Structure formats: structure tokens, C-alpha cells
Structure 1
């Protein structure tokens, strides 16, 4: 059986400390918060977590546990993967060398999680996948102690995604050993192409003769071609190279409209196209930042209620400023927070008679509220 891992108790944190910075850590927090029916208990849980009011944390297959300062036993149970699901997960890891390297570098690639989901292996928890238990008399689900435990575990997940895999049933040593003993998956019988042994047996075909070279011919320089804008061509070439690199890293690229692509080019290559605010928004948040700049929409009430609780928690018992709310935009004096469709809050500052993008987005609006 996989041994449990113990982690020392967290010391008290500063008031504005963030809980999850990695995308998989944020998914963990979201699963817990979406399960909660009481935002007040979540707020207390955040305060408990930042104040360091939990003891050492133990992570083992299917559970995380800690003891609060009030000596309540707190446990959060996580469904373990079956042996068949682990085999499918190992298939996905072994299918790409970069997956193994990323995990050892304490990173959880998006495409690995997506490939696992496609193989019916849910790595990240969803709503209802976390089962909190606590010996305290609070009837909350989760109570403030279980919520604090989940918030602190998000810090552990940020530092090491193997913590998530351990909760799902297997630890780092066990997984690495299984991968070292694993052969690459055999190709399906219907796969097209020639087996490698047959291809190598054919040998190397002779190269054709080089084409004739006219020593009197000199290719014209691009500068001499009146139909070519050399500067624009250089920008397009650099953009294509950058997009190709991003495609290799992520495995996919979002589809952009002609306008979005024009803003992207101006932002990435310092082009003066008269799109100043749009370029600033893109540099802070990409296509999502541009959408927040130009589009107002009505978020789900649950998201706004969670943000209200986060904003109140950021003031640690003080009265937060009153926000003037309209759809996805909250105005606090000379600061405006806009909620994006990506689940992040974007800060805007007043510049004369318009609102201007003022910084990168955050999941927690309290980190942008000026406190």
C-alpha cells in the first residue's frame, strides 16, 4: 500500500495571501467551493487557513486529514481511481515523453489531464467529489475546519501535483516504478503505415542529382520587390514562429477573429495600430482580457456571491468598501473590477473619462481591492 505523506503545519500567512496559483490547485479549490452551501463558512475557513489554525496535514490514498487548534479531527475524502483507470492513465503518461518530464518538474500539463479525461480517468475533482468530515458540532458541508484544510491543501498541490495523484490512490515512487517497467502501447492493428523493421530493411534510396545552378542568377532581395512590405513580413514570420511554439507546448490554440488577431499582433510586436487600450488588455489577459474590456455580461449568481464572500474575507473583519455593481463590473471609487468568462477578476483604473486595464487578473477579487 502506498505510504502516507505528512506535511508540517502552515505558519500564519499575510492577509492577502493567495490560496492556489497553479491551474490544478485552482480546480481543487473550485470543486470544494462549488460543493459548499454556506459562503459564510467558506469565509471562516479562509481565515482559519491563513491564520495557521490547523496542525500537520496527512495525505494518503483517498483522504487528507488534520487536527484543528480546537482538537477537532478533520478529514476530507477523495474517490480513488480503480486499477483499470490507473492503467489507462499510465497509457496517457507513457504516450508522450514530455508528460513524464513535466510531472517530475512538478507541473501538471493541461493536455495530460485532457487526455486522461478522454480516457475516462478524472484526475481533478468535480462538484461533489470531495466528502468532508469533522468532529466539530458544525453542520456545514464543509465546515470551516474542512474548508480551511482544503484551502491549505491547495498550497501543497501548487508545490507538487503528485499530492493529487496520491489522493487518487498512488504515490510518486509507485507511479515512477510503474512507468519505468512499462512498454510503449502497441499500435492498433488498423494503423496505417509500414512497420519500422520493414522500413529499415529497404535501405536508403540514392539521392537525386542536384538541380542545375545558374551562377549568373542572383535572387532578388525583398527590399527590391515593390510588392513586399519587408517589415510586415518580418512581423508575420515572428508571429508564426511564436504561434508554432505555443502550439507545440499546448497542443492546441484558441481560434481568433480577425480583430482579435490584429490586437494580438499589435500587443506582441509593439505595432502602432491605434488599439492602445485593447493592446493593454491583451497583454494582461489575452483574448479573455480583451473580452472583459469590450463586453459586459451577467455572471451566474453563485459566482458573484462567492466573490462577495472573498472580498469581505480580504478585509479580515473590517468593513469592505461598498461596490457599485452592474452586471460583471464592480466599481469601487477609482477602481473597477470586471469578472471575466474565464472566472478571473480584472482590475481597471479610471483614466480621464474611460476605464483602462490596470493589471493582471486574479481569481480572488480581494487581492485587487486595494486593501
Structure 2
């Protein structure tokens, strides 16, 4: 059984104190910041962390927790690894004696994390892997208290990577005991291979876990054949790469969105740099996929409460004077040379004027104020 680990509250830090000096600590912060819907709350979280507005921190499998401002219960949940994932991770640790020594020396080797990713074991969190909760009235994701907790936990991770492993489900003692009962693979036997009779007699192994969704996919190169014929090898290469990419997406997500013939043509042009005369549509797809394409090509009337919330976010996130007047029409807000379009997926998509029209200008955000920084001179 895993015991939770408690850590004393951090005192106020000196001016200029940094968060996360280790590479794995920085990866933790990046996952939290990339998930954030409000940069203002992140700034408040950094301030809260440095001035010591949180109480003692408790780390246990799947969660970290603290009391903020002496009254708010703040929790950040982290997905735990499955038993099968732990077995694959332990195989990677035991495969190289240096991995064990590094962990005991409170270091997280890059090659260990890379090997774990190759085995479909996500040690470091990615966007969306951290789920903040807080009893405060703020609906931010994360609120300033949860953000402060994540920033302070980066200091714990710097000092001891076993904190990350505990969040993923197993503590230091349990891991050490599991490693002590494991044999280092016989590399000489591995080089010799397995006799054919033994291989054919073995049961069919189960399929591996789906690959991590945040690792860029590069399909293998397709070598053209030597025979003559009417087949367009370049087109065949694109179709094969597209099929491999879609198969991987199906394996990771368990489903594929249904696309019209036009949407699929835009997808192919966007993913494989095809010149099909769809430049604006391709730009929209690259920023937001099918949702981005819909926002480009159709207008709709969002619920009033969504627009009211967006106006409040825009005013709260605007630094200095009030934002410029908004020319609103259905799901489209025009602020001078910038236009924000609200998608049915609950995100705002930025557009800029170009050649007499509106051009997709970047990825969407749930907080519209995050898209207006360049209007403020940022």
C-alpha cells in the first residue's frame, strides 16, 4: 500500500526566485500552463506560490492537495498508470543499471523518460493530464490557488522525482522492492534470439497499450516499386501516410470524426502540404481541425450566457484601459484589425485582415483575452 507524503508549507521566497530548475519540473509546469484558460489567474498563482499563500502539501497516488488562504481546499488530480504500464516502466528501469542509480540519486534521466514513452508509458504529464479542483468561488481552470499549488509542486519535483512517480501511482519503497525482485535482461541471450520452435509454441501476446497521443507521428517512407503502370506514386505515398495517421488516431482516441468529402480534402492538403487552392481553409484546419474549418465558413448564434461570460473574460484580462468597442454579429466579434469567432466547441478563434478578407491567425483559446495581446502592444 502506498502512503501519502506530506511536505511542509513553503515560506515566502526571495525576489527573483525561479520555479522548476529541473527539466522534468519544467515539463510539469508547461503541462499546467498549456492547460490554463486564463493568463491572469496564472500570474496570480505564481505570486501566491512565491509569497506562501498555501499550507502544507500532501502528495498521494493520483492527487496533490493543499489548503490555500487558510480556507480553500485545493486539489490537482493526475492520472495514475495502469499495472501493465508500471510493468513496462519497470522493465525500462531494470534494463539499464544507470537508471536505478540515477533515480536513487534523485535524478530523472532523459533516456529513461524517452524509453518509457517508446513503451507507451506517459511519465510526464501533457496538456489536459492535470485536473484542478478548488473550493474557492473562482471557476478558472486552474484557479489561482490550484496554479499556485502546481508551481510549488515543481519545487518538490526538482528535489525528488519519486514525487512524480508517487503521483502516477507508486511510492519509492514499492518501486525499490519491485526492482529488487527483477532480473536485468540477459543481453547475450537477447542477441542470440529465440528458437523458432519456442516462438511458435508461445501464446499470442496481447496487443500493446495505445501509443501516447502527444508524440508527433511520422509514418514510414513508402518506397515506389519498379514496375511500370498508371499508379501515381506521389499520390499513393500521401494516401498511405494519411491512412497510417488515421489508423494511429483511431487507436489512440477510439474513434474518428466523420468528415465530408470536402473536409477530408482540406485535411489531406493541410497534413501533406498539397497545393489544392485551399489556402485559407488549410490554415483554418491547421489551427483548429474540423472545428476551425467550420468557424471559418459558417456563422451561428451562441447562447447569451456564453457571450456574456466571454465579455467578462475579455474585460478582466485586458491590461490598462478598457478594450476597444466590439462590433458583434452572431458568433463574430471584430476589434479593429482583429476578429474573434466563437466555435461550437466553446473556443475562440482569431482572424486578421488579409487581402480584403479575414485570415485564420492562430490556435483557439477558451479565454478571448488571451488572443488580444498584440492589440495591447504585447
TM-score range, shorter chain: 0.5 to 0.7
Q: Give the distance between the partners of 2:298 and 2:39, measured in 1 at CA.
A: 30
Match of 1:361 among 360, 364, 369: 364
Pairwise CA distance, 1:347: 0.9
Q: 1:255 to 1:200 in 2, by over 3 A?
A: farther
Q: 1:50 to 1:332 in 2, by over 3 A?
A: farther
Structure with the greater relative contact order (CA < 8 A, sep ≥ 6): 1 or 2? 1
- Larger-Rg structure: 1
The equivalent residue for 1:76 is 73
Confirm whether residue 298 of structure 1 aligns to residue 296 of structure 2.
Answer: no
Listed as ranges, the matches of 1:1-371 within 5 Å are 1-5=3-7, 22=31, 26=35, 48-49=44-45, 52=48, 54-55=51-52, 57=54, 58-60=56-58, 63-66=65-68, 72-78=69-75, 90-91=82-83, 93-94=85-86, 105-107=123-125, 124=131, 130-132=134-136, 141-142=137-138, 147-153=143-149, 173=172, 203=201, 221-222=226-227, 224-225=228-229, 227-248=230-251, 250=253, 252-369=255-372, 370=374, 371=376
Compared with structure 1, are the counterparts of its residues 22 and 314 closer, same or farther at alpha carbon in structure 2 (3 Å cutoff)? same
How high is the TM-score relative to the length of structure 2? 0.57
CA contact (8 A) 1:346 1:359 kept: yes
Give aligned pairs, total: 288
Q: What is the DSSP-based 3-state SS (H/G/I as helix, E as strand, rest coil) of the residue aligned with 2:241?
A: helix
Q: Is the 8 A contact 1:339 1:346 kept in 2?
A: yes
Aligned partner of residue 321 in structure 1, secondary structure: coil
Whether contact under 8 Å (2:302, 2:331) holds in the other structure is yes
Per-residue CA deviations over 1:250-298 (Å, capped at 9, x if unaligned) read 5554333222211111112222222111111111222221122122233
> Structure 2 stretches of 5 or more lacking a match?
18-28, 90-115, 183-196, 203-223
TM-score normalised to the size of structure 1? 0.58
Change (3 A) 1:102 1:265: same
